[in-house]
Amino acid sequence: MLRLYNSMTRQVEPLVPHDAEHLRMYVCGPTVYSFAHIGNARPAVVFDVLAKLLRQSFPRVSYARNITDVDDKIIAAAAADGTSCEDVAARFTAAYHADLDALGAAAPDIEPRATDHIAPMIAMIEELIARGHAYPAEGHVLFHVPSCPTYGRLSGANPDEMRAGARVEVAPWKRDPRDFVLWKPSKAGQPGWQSTWGTGRPGWHIECSAMIREHLGDRIDIHGGGIDLRFPHHENEIAQGTEARFWVHNGHVTVSGAKMSKSLGNVLLVRDLLAEAPGEAIRYALLTAHYRQPLDWTPDTLRAARTALDRLYGALRGAPSVAPKAEDMAAVLDALKDDLNTPKALAALHALAGQVHASADAERQAELAAALKTAGSLLGLLQQDVTAWAQSGVLDTTRIEALVDERAQARNARDWDRADALRDELAELGVDVEDASGESRWRARV
């Protein structure tokens, strides 16, 4: 049975959906005002792997990931560029899609956009006012946090500490320093929609609650996102009425031990990393740490990921297409079902690759290679043509094959000095050669 860590209960639990026939998952998507950085890519890849695993386990899965296309940051970006908010949102939504496509992250089943759901947001705000959870003030509508006695249970934040932290420059029209905005007035030239409270736009938190209800219903099984969203965003969603059986959060990405920030100049954009390595190498790198743990990105991260993939693809080279055996893939699947343990799953893939190289039986070797490829698909890896992969990166396979053939000829001619020299040359290229059953096979060194 698939088990996941639930941020609400703070423990790993069996995933039992509300409806055994239909699992519903919602993941917070991007605010499209800039290009995606590697921190934005991590949840997209993590929850893509989870969606693949869920589709293996449940008859029907509805996976929704939103686009926030109205926001103060989008307004600021439009003003800076001298263009419209619609143009900024359209441009960076397209860029986000292109980057995720390069990383092999499939599109969600549902991708709601905030601006298409203003009416459901207004309706939800009106409902919260009617129930005594929200109040209008100075053209705003605010959620009154004291009306929710359980506020803070997801993040574990102390109410007194939250109140103290909110005392700096608290708006005079707030009843409580912790109260948060559901609706805000729009200035001239800013995006705005008509409402009973005047022309304005929604606050960030109400968007997800309204879109979840609109597309997935009142109760969902998994609500996901980065750990930075646990408070206040997800805490506020719960206060608004969002119900999820599991709250799942991925850890931060740091860069050489430091938090990514513009001030440090260490923000790594996905599109820049794609100029350095194939998207699959970036995806592999994002899966090398357990999703709940921080992932530290260093100058060696992409090189190591590329080398590891070279080894895995090397095990598929020349393998005929046969049906895999379930038992050969069990270690990978078991690792993923254990709270999405991708480091353990990757280790299992490499163990399979080692078995491919070690096997002297051609039929068994083909079965193991098939298992490697099929198990790799659960992680979104190893689905390219082997030759295409080799041509996409640093390994010059034409030269390697020529050197391996020349070395084989030298061995046949018992020219051991020449054979040793060629082995050394291959080693400098990061390639190991194995001689077995009269054949020489090469693989990229991990």
User: Please, what is the Cα angle at 341 between 340 and 346, to 5 degrees?
Assistant: 120
Handedness of CA 425, 428, 430, 434 (dihedral sign): positive
Q: Give SS3 for 4.
A: strand
- Nearest Cα neighbor of 154 from 253, 233, 220, 216 is 233
Six-digit token pair at 328?
């050969």
In angstroms, the CA 426 to CA 318 distance is 20
Q: What are φ and ψ of residue 40, in 5° steps?
A: -70, -30
- Any known ligand binding at 237? yes
- As a whole number of angstroms, the distance between CA 278 and CA 299 comes to 15
**CB-based contact 131:241 (threshold 8 Å):** no
Q: Are 216 and 62 in contact (CB under 8 A)?
A: yes
| Alpha-carbon radius of gyration of the chain | 26
Residue 208 assigned ligand-binding role: yes
> 373 a known binding residue?
no
Contact 28, 34 (CB under 8 A): no
Q: Is 262 assigned to a binding site?
A: yes
CA distance readout (Å), 315 to 303, 332, 347, 435: 19, 16, 14, 15
Is 148 known as a binding-site position? no
Q: Annotated binding residues for ATP, as ranges?
A: 262
Q: Annotated binding residues, as ranges?
A: 28, 208, 233, 237, 262
Q: Annotated binding residues for Zn(2+), as ranges?
A: 28, 208, 233, 237
